[in-house]
Amino acid sequence: MKFLLIAVLAVLFTIVFANADAKREISSCMKSCWKNKGSYKECAVTCNAIRRGRRAMETSTLSDSENTVKCVSTDSLNVRSGPGTNYSTRRSIRRNERVTIYQTSGTWVRIAASEWVHSGYLSNCASTPSTPTTPSTGSSGLTIEKLREIMPRLSSSKAQEYLPYLNSAMASGSINNCQRISAFLAQLAHESGQLQWWEEFASGAAYEGRRDLGNTQPGDGRRFKGRGPIQLTGRANYRSAGSALGLPLESNPEMAKNTDVGFRTAVWFWSTRSLNNYADGSQSGFDQITRRINGGYNGKADRDQYFRKAKSLLGC
């Protein structure tokens, strides 16, 4: 009887302190999430798994028939110790790596014990995983060598890495002749320092409160500063691009500085402004593109020299 009483007390002691630990974890999680400007809904989803208890989270799995295999759709995907960006990064996995989903928590999925990734970076696997292929670019024939001649600061290894994604993105936006490709590359070369800058150097504080950019929430200026080769800027643009491309850019804006996503957002911006209509090879048409991208003519001389160089090298 004495041993039974001790066992019962031990169980009660464990439950009480486990609940206390869970409450402390919830409080810590919510505070961290709010500090990082997460919405109440986002924070609640992220921290809800903790409320159910770590042990339940780790051992609760889907049935074998419900498990789903997906492939990583970005160059490098951080694997975190819990369902949210406030958790520590455990490792990274690379494009086309296959993962099995055992549990979901909002937009996060568990791929192993204490290993979570954001589902926005996963897609259905091809029968044979492969990297993007280089599509035809018409008579202009963009090659690694020509890309580096237009942007000499771009290393050979980076040019080789970028070209398939660049060609694939341009093909999707019908940027498919010499005049259009020349104009597109010239604008990207200026905006990104020859594809060197994938995130704006400034903090983004200057965009705070810019309702014309959709920055209506505290911290939006910094959160939605320029990223990608065309420097996608503002909550409204991140939201619209994400919706069009099927990516969670508004909740995960740093996705825009990934190679594949960056080129896709650049083409999205180009296409939604109908910039192909002005890419006729003329200087006046190119000036209209500059104004629609920049809002003025900042850096005009630099943009123009890239445009002339690209047309000469690509043959138009």
- Catalogue the active-site residues: 191
User: Both tokens of residue 49?
Assistant: 């798994």
In the block, which residue shows the tokens 């869970």? 22
Task: In whole angstroms, give the CA distance from residue 39 to residue 19.
Answer: 25
Between the two ends of the chain, the Cα-to-Cα distance in Å is 94
Nearest CA among 68, 67, 66, 80 for reference residue 108: 80
Nearest CA among 310, 230, 314, 226 for reference residue 270: 230
DSSP state of 258: S
